[in-house]
Structure 1
Amino acid sequence: MTTTPAGQADLDVLMDLLDLEQLEIDLYRGASPPESPPRVFGGQVAGQALVAAGRTVEADRHVHSLHAYFIRGGDPSRPIVYRTERVRDGQSFSTRRVLAIQNGKAIFALSASFQLAQQGLEHSVGPRAAVPGPDELPVLHQRVEATARSQWLKWINRAVDMRLVDEHPWTEDRVATDEPIRAWMRAGGKLPDDPLRHVCLLTYLSDLSLLSSVVARHDLSTTSLQMASLDHAMWFHQPFRMDDWLLYECWSPAASGGRGLAQGRFFTEEGTLIATTMQEGLVRLPRP
């Protein structure tokens, strides 16, 4: 793959964030990047919590699902402590619970299940429609750099190579659509072979545009709404590498009561479904 020194350097910083400091057995500490949103990015705390869970599981068991709740907004200026509970280790499955704590209060809770590799039935759906390949699309910062208000978003654009297939709700000149919003993404450099590192990075990135699909069905911009993730779930179907291209397809089936439900699917360039995610989020209209 083609990489740039800047992209690899920023990717290394991102991966360092997902490499937690161990304080004690089953107790870890994570930090936020210098360029960070006012609240800790939800994908970051989810990815770090999955690292804390994965560190307590045998290497031959890989995560196949996670379910999580965002409890409080995190402060990016303070460290986050992750406390892992070893719920069960069976013959084929291991279950872990992780509580993310800041200022003595829980801000995030995750349950994850890991499985020993096994044989079974196999089938997979493909993307809803044919899309242009990543090489046919401009890189993300060429489309939104001029309007990006966050240094954190610009940093992510360097650490991760993203190519928008559709106009997202935070870009200009878009209209409401009932179709999915899609983007190609891959790490901005080379990653080690450790499967847990790739899964945790995918977990981090899964929160980037998922809730935006709720807004995409309306003639509104994400900048005019109050939005926050409430819960998050993922299922991992096939092995993958985050330094290969993946297509992220997001769509919202329902919204009501100031909340929106979004579902996302990750595909390889060959069209194989490798992960599915669901999220409910707070989507509030501006107050009069």
Structure 2
Amino acid sequence: MNETITADEPMYFIVDRIRDGKSFASRSVKIKQNDKVIFYASCSFQKYKETPNQLNHQYAMPDVYPVDSAETIGESALKNSNMMLGDFIIDQKVTIMDTLPVDSRLAIPKDPHLRENFNLGVNSYLEKIEQSEKKLDSTQIRLPYNYRWIKIDSSLDVHPSVHICMLAALSDFRILMTAALPHFWGYNYNKNTLGMGVSLDHTLHFHAPVKADSWLLWVVESPRVSNGRGYVLGRFFDTDGVLVASVVQETLLRAQPKLESAINTLTFNTLPPKIKSFDHISNSTNSSPTQPKL
């Protein structure tokens, strides 16, 4: 998105047919308003079909408690509005664009160490610590990593392509705040001042059919923030554990330290993936597969 959009003026869509093949098609789309290009998109489409014995791998869905679990995070009994940055509510129940009712809740990891870190992203939990004699130390940095349950809060009898469009809208809902997690929550709570945070570019990949009105686990991480820009990655899993879509966003994130004690140069460890499970396609030459060494 290049310019501010107003609903009071007409918008003109200019679509260029880039390629039409047997399996793939490509389009470029420009939207103009008041003779200015306000939006640009490059779109690729694939004819979906089930192919036997096709190659298939994915990252596993993280182990989290179900969305209807009685577990709480950060000692909060609230389902929504636990994570806030100024006027931005990260886990919000709201209607976006005056059209789509969205329910977004913080998901709770089963890993106790990760859950303890996620507690550091709950504002009320941090406020209690600030008001007590206990203080956070510099090791208690909130990781740039987050889980959220999210869905369109309405049952919809619509074409599958509409669910894709609705997921596209969900994919831009508060995703950029993941880049701010280490700098505005945990040890750095109330130590920095946010100047501006907006999306610069946004990419969305669909991997499988999806229903946007069913609960999806949104796993979001930010590997890099530098020079006022944040790099954010997101993955959507359905409740069966299928990775249905992935997101990449670059954000503008301008902030200034409010306190000298703020720690704003951070490096986090990361690990390579490990095999969790596999299915073997048996055949006459190998009916008893050997489990790989992990």
Superposition TM-score, scaled by structure 2 size: 0.64
Match of 1:184 in 2: 149
What runs of 5+ residues in structure 2 fail to find an aligned partner? 73-77, 108-117, 127-139, 259-294
Q: Distance in 2 between matches of 1:205 and 1:84?
A: 24
C-alpha change, 1:273 and 1:82, in structure 2 (3 Å) is: same
Q: 1:206 and 2:171 equivalent? A: yes
Q: In the TM superposition, what are the counterparts of 1:158-177 in structure 2 within 5 Å?
A: 159-165=101-107, 166=118, 171-173=123-125, 176-177=141-142
C-alpha change, 1:194 and 1:95, in structure 2 (3 Å) is: same
Q: 1:266 and 2:236 equivalent? A: yes
SS of corresponding position for 1:211: helix
- The Cα of 1:144 is off from its aligned counterpart by 7.0
Q: 1:133 and 2:66 equivalent? A: yes
What amino acid maps onto 2:5 in structure 1? G
Match of 2:23 in 1: 92
Higher relative contact order at CA 8 Å, sep ≥6: structure 1 or structure 2? Answer: 1
Q: Do the aligned residues in 2 keep the contact of 1:161 with 1:186 (CA within 8 Å)?
A: yes
Match of 1:80 in 2: 11
Q: Distance in 1 between matches of 2:7 and 2:158?
A: 29
Q: 1:155 and 2:95 equivalent? A: yes
Q: Do the aligned residues in 1 keep the contact of 2:179 with 2:232 (CA within 8 Å)?
A: yes
C-alpha change, 1:131 and 1:276, in structure 2 (3 Å) is: same
C-alpha change, 1:179 and 1:257, in structure 2 (3 Å) is: closer
Q: Distance in 2 between matches of 1:253 and 1:282?
A: 15
Instruction: Describe the superposition over 1:51-95 as per-residue Cα deviations: whole angstroms up to 9, x where unpaired.
Output: xxxxxxxxxxxxxxxxxxx32232354443322222111111110
Instruction: Describe the superposition over 1:206-241 as per-residue Cα deviations: whole angstroms up to 9, x where unpaired.
Output: 111211110012235797230111111111111111
Q: Distance in 2 between matches of 1:220 and 1:82?
A: 43
- The Cα of 1:163 is off from its aligned counterpart by 1.5
Match of 1:54 in 2: none
Identity of aligned residues (%): 31
What amino acid maps onto 2:63 in structure 1? A
Q: Distance in 2 between matches of 1:163 and 1:153?
A: 8
Match of 1:29 in 2: none
Q: In the TM superposition, what are the counterparts of 1:30-45 in structure 2 within 5 Å?
A: none
Q: CA RMSD in A?
A: 3.1
Q: Distance in 1 between matches of 2:154 and 2:57?
A: 31
Question: Which 4+ residue blocks in structure 1 deviate beyond 4 angstroms?
Answer: 147-150, 166-175, 220-223
Count residues in correspondence: 215
Of the structure 1 ranges 158-167 and 203-212, higher mean CA displacement relative to structure 2 is found in 158-167
Q: Which has the higher helix share?
A: 1
C-alpha change, 1:153 and 1:190, in structure 2 (3 Å) is: closer
Greater gyration radius:
2
